Structure 1
Amino acid sequence: MKKRLLLGHNPVTGGRHLGQYFGSMIDLVELQDEYNCCVILDDWMDIINYPLEKDKVLQRSLFVLNEFIKAGVDTNKVTFGLSTFFLKELSEIFALILGFVDSDFLDSKYPKTFFGHLKESDRVFLGLQPRPTLLEKSYSLYGPVSYTIGLNIDIFMGGHDVEGYIDHIRHVLSNINDDTHFSVNKTEFMPSKFPYILDSFGEFMTQGNGLFISDSEQNLRNYLKESKSEKFWKQIGYILKSFDNEVKLSYDKEVIENCLIEHLSIFRKESKTNKELLEILYIGSQNIANQICCTTEILKKRIGLLKLNEFD
């Protein structure tokens, strides 16, 4: 039986940048035959953390799914889910999971997150409450934990920025097992092949400084021409060589630029329609909902929650 592999993506910003592509998307293409793969586009987390963007999140989620498909991910092999499409099932297991979270542990971890660092003025600017709500604090850390446990995931894949979720998963599973002897797979972290992709100035690539894979050829070339970092060019040259042995390992900027533009040309091809993309997400989300529901029922029995009809 194939092991279950999970990849989570935040769709609020829309198009993926080069760091996300080389950091996880291309890995998924290579692993989709070896593992039972699932990708969660966690739009519920985005709605919680970016309330001013909530009306745009669905369209951006469809755009991200389209990019995965263009990258070579086969939706017949990889399950894609949108968290708001299975929110009922997710909310139930999330509520159960919180019963095994130490409040001191949560309070110690949240300040280390991006939103935990924000000043009140920054929070208000983003449309958030001046002080973090309990939902914001808990879901940011334990939302992904909930669907990881709910889907009985073996491997959680991503960059080192998401490696911390493994600690949260182990913390919860340890408490669950101590109290209920509830057994699920021990989730391991699989780092991306290229977890740290540099931007044009040699810094860690983010949404704020990234090269977006679906940009026009002209925009891509403009970004590359502004690059001041030799480390950036060497890294991109090395990565391109690793994908294609026919590519000569050269640190000539013009050669690397043309190879990269050609490599990213797949993202400028015809897209699937929104209807087709929604159907993929609906089907995948229903499968995810069914799996989480099964795990939830087992967990509820373990902790002694009875159905009403059991009193008859």
Structure 2
Amino acid sequence: MEDNRYKLKQVCVQNPIFGPRNLGHYWGSMKDFVNNQYKHESYLVIDDIMAILMNPKEAHAIKNRTYFVLQDFINCGYDTEKNHVVLTSSYLPYIMEIVIFYADFIDYKFCNYLYENSFLGGLKSYQREELGLNLYPSVFELLYPQLGMPAVSLALETELFQGGEEIIGYTYIMNNIKNNIKKVYDDYNPPPVYEPSRNGYVLGLDGEYMFQHNSIFLSEDEDSIIEKIETIENKNILKDWLTSAGHKNVFEFYSIDTDFTYLKTLLKDILVNELKPFRENQLGIDYLDSIILSNYEKIKDQLVNHIGTIKKGIYKMSSTSINNNF
């Protein structure tokens, strides 16, 4: 067993609501996370609680999408024998206990402001009905999206919070929580530091932020990759993708190419070759389940120990308060 005592812990959070990962996920979090997996003790957190919360009607399908996410990370090179996989629904009772504790250290107005500016907070009533949500948000819906991942990261005592631009906000929440905790009792662990990826904002095929409708999926077939690249008309997309792939100098050398012929050909060759493992390595559900289960006891113990530490801190705080009153 590898000694991880002197390694920093890094966490990468993935929402499996859309299943297979695309180039935005790949360059926005996956590749750098996997490249650093032996330098740090690594935790891949697949937040299926959040996915189900966002779309309850798709709860049964989200399980399969979770498998796609894990499969894509393994095909990216993630070593599940030496690192960790955390499927949040497996630890729901422990996570909720930690969330409730940390909810005491964040202002309601701040939490509500974050919710109102989130995907769920911006839904109209008919959209909520289409997704299977109640007309008004539950307490869980208000708390979990803001505090779920901060709670898990703090419980795992991670030092690095890695990923694309969309997760930067969690670092502010964790800093806020830690600052408020320190006002009440000793808390020696600092919040995780955000570690940006090579390209936190990846352009889609249409020049907008890459999402499902304007992306190339990592497991997409070769002909589809070639066909989609051929449709690119914006030079900024080619620059963005080639830079993300580590070929910025090539782009600059051939940027005078007005019809982008060479740049598109180069990009096709790069992606067809680099994404080959994602197309060819289809992993069985039993195998993926075994990976998720193999981490269960270790992660559960870490969460339980953190809950114990929290309770000791509360007891110490309460005892001090009682003694000071006499």
How far apart, in 2, do the equivalents of 1:37 and 1:100 lie? Answer: 27
**1:124-160 Cα shifts (integer Å, max 9, x gaps):** 1111112222111110110001101110110111111
Pairing partner for 1:297 from 294, 297, 308: 308
How far apart, in 2, do the equivalents of 1:128 and 1:249 lie? Answer: 52
Is residue 79–residue 284 contact of structure 1 (8 Å, CA) maintained in 2? yes
How far apart, in 2, do the equivalents of 1:131 and 1:185 lie? Answer: 35
User: Match of 1:83, as an amino acid?
Assistant: T
Is residue 198–residue 244 contact of structure 2 (8 Å, CA) maintained in 1? no
Distance 1:305-1:223 versus aligned 2 partners, 3 A rule: farther
Is residue 239–residue 251 contact of structure 2 (8 Å, CA) maintained in 1? no
Distance 1:83-1:157 versus aligned 2 partners, 3 A rule: same
How many percent identity over aligned positions?
28
Distance 1:73-1:246 versus aligned 2 partners, 3 A rule: farther
TM-score when normalising by structure 1: 0.92
User: For residue 120 of structure 1, what is the aligned residue in structure 2?
Assistant: 125
**1:42-76 Cα shifts (integer Å, max 9, x gaps):** 10111112101100111111111011011111112
User: Match of 1:155, as an amino acid?
Assistant: L
Unaligned runs of 5+ in 2: 1-5, 255-261, 318-326
How far apart, in 2, do the equivalents of 1:212 and 1:161 lie? Answer: 19
Pairing partner for 2:89 from 84, 90, 98: 84
User: Match of 2:300, as an amino acid?
Assistant: A
Pairing partner for 2:9 from 4, 8, 14: 4
Is residue 57–residue 132 contact of structure 2 (8 Å, CA) maintained in 1? yes
User: For residue 65 of structure 2, what is the aligned residue in structure 1?
Assistant: 60
Is residue 225–residue 268 contact of structure 2 (8 Å, CA) maintained in 1? no
Residue 159 of structure 2 is aligned to residue 147 of structure 1: no
Distance apart, 1:203 and its partner CA:
1.2
Is residue 101–residue 172 contact of structure 1 (8 Å, CA) maintained in 2? yes
Residue 207 of structure 2 is aligned to residue 196 of structure 1: no
How far apart, in 2, do the equivalents of 1:202 and 1:104 lie? Answer: 35
Is residue 240–residue 247 contact of structure 1 (8 Å, CA) maintained in 2? no
User: For residue 116 of structure 2, what is the aligned residue in structure 1?
Assistant: 111
Is residue 11–residue 158 contact of structure 2 (8 Å, CA) maintained in 1? yes
Distance apart, 1:88 and its partner CA:
2.0
Is residue 154–residue 191 contact of structure 2 (8 Å, CA) maintained in 1? no
User: For residue 309 of structure 1, what is the aligned residue in structure 2?
Assistant: none
How far apart, in 2, do the equivalents of 1:207 and 1:154 lie? Answer: 31
How far apart, in 1, do the equivalents of 2:251 and 2:33 lie? Answer: 22
Distance 1:147-1:249 versus aligned 2 partners, 3 A rule: farther
Q: 1:165 is paired with a residue of what secondary structure?
A: helix
How far apart, in 2, do the equivalents of 1:126 and 1:186 lie? Answer: 34
Is residue 90–residue 289 contact of structure 1 (8 Å, CA) maintained in 2? no
1:224-235 aligned within 5 A: 224-235=229-240
Unaligned runs of 5+ in 1: 307-312
Is residue 94–residue 142 contact of structure 1 (8 Å, CA) maintained in 2? yes
Q: 2:149 is paired with a residue of what secondary structure?
A: helix
Structure 1 vs Structure 2 CA RMSD: 2.1
User: Match of 1:278, as an amino acid?
Assistant: D
Structure 1: which 4+ aligned runs deviate by more than 6 Å?
A: 245-249
How far apart, in 2, do the equivalents of 1:249 and 1:59 lie? Answer: 43
Pairing partner for 2:167 from 162, 170, 181: 162
User: For residue 280 of structure 1, what is the aligned residue in structure 2?
Assistant: 291
User: Match of 1:92, as an amino acid?
Assistant: E
Pairing partner for 1:98 from 72, 97, 103: 103
How far apart, in 2, do the equivalents of 1:92 and 1:196 lie? Answer: 34
Distance 1:258-1:297 versus aligned 2 partners, 3 A rule: same
Q: 1:195 is paired with a residue of what secondary structure?
A: coil
Is residue 15–residue 46 contact of structure 2 (8 Å, CA) maintained in 1? yes
**1:263-294 Cα shifts (integer Å, max 9, x gaps):** 11111123221111111111223322211111
User: Match of 1:176, as an amino acid?
Assistant: I
1:43-58 aligned within 5 A: 43-58=48-63
Q: Number of paired residues? A: 305
User: Match of 1:77, as an amino acid?
Assistant: K
Distance 1:66-1:248 versus aligned 2 partners, 3 A rule: farther
User: Match of 1:266, as an amino acid?
Assistant: P
Distance apart, 1:210 and its partner CA:
1.7
Distance 1:28-1:242 versus aligned 2 partners, 3 A rule: farther
TM-score when normalising by structure 2: 0.88
Distance 1:298-1:253 versus aligned 2 partners, 3 A rule: same
User: Which of structures 1 and 2 has the bigger CA Rg?
Assistant: 2
Is residue 67–residue 288 contact of structure 2 (8 Å, CA) maintained in 1? yes
Q: 1:241 is paired with a residue of what secondary structure?
A: coil
User: For residue 185 of structure 1, what is the aligned residue in structure 2?
Assistant: 190
How far apart, in 1, do the equivalents of 2:45 and 2:21 lie? Answer: 15
Distance apart, 1:240 and its partner CA:
2.6
